[in-house]
Amino acid sequence: MNGYRIEHDSMGEVQVPADRLWGAQTQRSYENFKIGGEKMPAEVIHAFGILKKAAATANHRLGKLDGERFTAIAAACDELLAHKLDGHFPLVVWQTGSGTQSNMNVNEVVAHRAGEFCTLEIHPNDHVNMSQSSNDTFPTAMHIAAVLSLSDRLLPALDRLTATLLRLEEENADVVKSGRTHLQDAVPITLGQEISGWRTSLERDREQLEAALPGLCSLALGGTAVGTGLNAPAGFAEGAAQAVSELTGKPFVTAPNKFHALTSKDELVFAHGALKALAADLMKIANDVRWLASGPRCGIGEITIPANEPGSSIMPGKVNPTQCEAVTMVAVQVLGNDAAIGFAASQGNFELNVFMPVLAYDFLQSARLLADCMESFNVHCVSGLTANRERCRENLHNSLMLVTALNPYIGYEKAAKTSQLAFKENISLKEACVRLGFMTPEEFDRAVRPEEMV
């Protein structure tokens, strides 16, 4: 048939598009799993490129793979890593739970491309997949992808947002405003102090993410099918992990127990727990920002955020906190992903977990979305945040909770009566306190000094 070539595998012959580098097993999966549109994440394919080059390196160093085939496989992997082979990885997430078909997709593409550099035959199983099984390569690819996503993409975005908050914290250290608890007025706080709470939340999230990285740097590669390392030569596991470290600059090591590495996904669960914590804190921060910027006249209005685009198709001049809304939607998605990851990780039956593609998809989506939304939130909202000093002052001096400063002078019950009268009569705390005979005007002014209450 024109436009096709014939490939074969252990089940027989298959027609494959002539302009595609994949082989028979990829084609079978492509035809058999037309489920959804979610492709295997690019981060996983990239990690497989690192993994296959590292495995070839280890096999070559151990004398298992000849120099010509090693050079060709390494060159094909380099093209994969340079995105020159994009378009040759068509498989969806919803496939075999071991990820075997995506492992074979990479094996076939690398073998086909490497064969164009080599005078010798390069077989996807015998050479590209040498000393490996899908059961140890896919969890290894997941860990590599997770580490690179967190280290190279998410943490830098988190650091940039944290740095912006630190700048705003320092710039607004002198802005005294009303605190709020239970969505009700509370004692004074500075805007800088409020922002410091946001900043410290992100710093704690970073610490938790860093604590998760060592577990993710532990690689299953070398366990082969069930953890025994069958068909992998002595030293392969250690050599492959060393080669992955050399290629990435990250401290990857071979997992000490391959039976655990193949069936348990607890490192991903733990790491995604830190992503969930980050999502929860970002939800809180974004909500605080949009509450404090609410208005501009009928809300709290203590801060002003950048106006990036019209907010309404019917109300002229309306501006909405759209960046905050994007952050909160991402947070909701991450929280949902965390539930899916927990369920998927619990399904490690006997020697293998067979929910790995969805684990990888959800984890990497969370990392990607959080990194992107933090960058967008930082650039388009937080970096342009300014204090409405006059509104802060107005709200502060209108707050009934300044009465808390009277406790040491007139006691809790008299202070409560002062606050209740001020609210009931819509008068100032000072007027209420004086009317009740608890203090003179001069005594009240000496006791209630908001700037000294922070």
- Range name among 141-145, 306-310, 322-326, 401-405 with the lowest pLDDT average: 306-310
Whether the predicted pLDDT of 449 surpasses 70: yes
Looking at the structure, do residues 377 and 405 belong to the same domain, yes or no? no
Q: Please check whether residue 179 lies inside any domain of the structure.
A: no
Looking at the structure, do residues 336 and 423 belong to the same domain, yes or no? no
Looking at the structure, do residues 274 and 403 belong to the same domain, yes or no? no
Mean pLDDT of 439-443: 97
Instruction: Please tell me the distance from the alpha carbon of residue 364 to that of residue 347, in angstroms, as a whole number.
Output: 19
Whether the predicted pLDDT of 68 surpasses 50: yes
Containing structural domain, residue 361: 155-171+184-216+257-389
**Catalytic residue status for 383:** no
Whether the predicted pLDDT of 2 surpasses 90: no
Residue 260 has what DSSP assignment? Answer: H
Q: Please check whether residue 228 lies inside any domain of the structure.
A: no
Domain boundary among 368, 389, 410: 389
Q: Please check whether residue 230 lies inside any domain of the structure.
A: no
Mean pLDDT of 240-244: 98
Instruction: Please tell me the distance from the alpha carbon of residue 440 to that of residue 400, in angstroms, as a whole number.
Output: 18
Please report, in angstroms and rounded to a whole number, the separation of the first and last CA atoms in the chain.
80
Q: Please check whether residue 233 lies inside any domain of the structure.
A: no
Whether the predicted pLDDT of 195 surpasses 80: yes
Looking at the structure, do residues 264 and 347 belong to the same domain, yes or no? yes
Q: Please check whether residue 325 lies inside any domain of the structure.
A: yes
Looking at the structure, do residues 190 and 321 belong to the same domain, yes or no? yes
Q: Please check whether residue 238 lies inside any domain of the structure.
A: no
337-374 pLDDT, tens digit each? 999 999 999 998 999 999 999 999 999 999 999 999 99
Q: Which amino acid is at 334?
A: V
Mean pLDDT of 232-236: 98
Instruction: Please tell me the distance from the alpha carbon of residue 429 to that of residue 326, in angstroms, as a whole number.
Output: 41
Catalytic residue among 312, 366, 383, 397: 312
Average pLDDT, the chain: 97
Mean pLDDT of 182-200: 97
**Catalytic residue status for 182:** yes
78-103 pLDDT, tens digit each? 999 999 999 999 999 999 999 999 99
CA–chain centroid gap for 211, Å, is 15
Interior angle at CA 91, CA 72 and CA 267, nearest 5: 85
Instruction: Provide the pLDDT for residue 316.
Output: 92
Mean pLDDT of 417-431: 96
Instruction: Please tell me the distance from the alpha carbon of residue 175 to that of residue 278, in angstroms, as a whole number.
Output: 27
Any idea what the CATH number is for the domain that residue 434 is in? 1.10.40.30
Whether the predicted pLDDT of 1 surpasses 60: no
Instruction: Please tell me the distance from the alpha carbon of residue 377 to that of residue 231, in angstroms, as a whole number.
Output: 50
Catalytic residue among 182, 201, 260, 376: 182
369-397 pLDDT, tens digit each? 999 999 999 999 999 999 999 999 999 99
Name residues whose C-beta falls within 8 Å of residue 412's C-beta, 6 or more positions apart in sequence: none
Looking at the structure, do residues 209 and 286 belong to the same domain, yes or no? yes
Give the total number of structural domains in the chain: 3
